[in-house]
Amino acid sequence: MRRAEGVAVRRTPEPYLWLLFSGGGVVAALVLPVLVLLFGVLMPLGVVDWPTAGHLRGLLGNVLVRLALVVVVVLCLFHAAHRIRHTSEELLGLARFDLVIALFCYGGAIAGGVIAVMLMF
């Protein structure tokens, strides 16, 4: 704890969680629509050919591509966790369970991030 004019100031992780939330929102707004358009619309309609297994294997052979996919997944998970936490606390009136909700939401995001890293590397 830091002291400011004789008063103890407690630091919270909240600014970092808001940073992950905003980063996840940007990624979700820029990257996910392209992926949905490709894999959810254009490929099933036959406008764009499905990638072959060899092509995907070659693409995932690059460490930067795997790292970028992990970043997209992790940021989207933290964005969802933060949104679920604040929606359940404010809209549903569950603010008295803040610690449990926060642990559940961010713990799930961390677990999902660990799983993404294990799958990619």
Ordered domains of the chain (ranges, CATH): 14-120 (1.20.1300.10)
Please indicate whether residue 58 or residue 93 has the higher confidence score (pLDDT): 58
- Condensed to tens digits (0 to 9), the pLDDT of residues 31-46 reads 989 999 999 999 999 9
User: Alpha-carbon distance 11 to 36, whole Å?
Assistant: 39
| Whether the predicted pLDDT of 93 surpasses 60 | yes
> Which residues lie closer than 8 Å to 75 by C-beta, 6 or more apart?
20, 23, 24, 26, 27, 28
Percentage of the chain lying above the pLDDT 70 cut:
95
pTM: 0.80
Confidence of residue 2 (pLDDT cuts 50, 70, 90): low
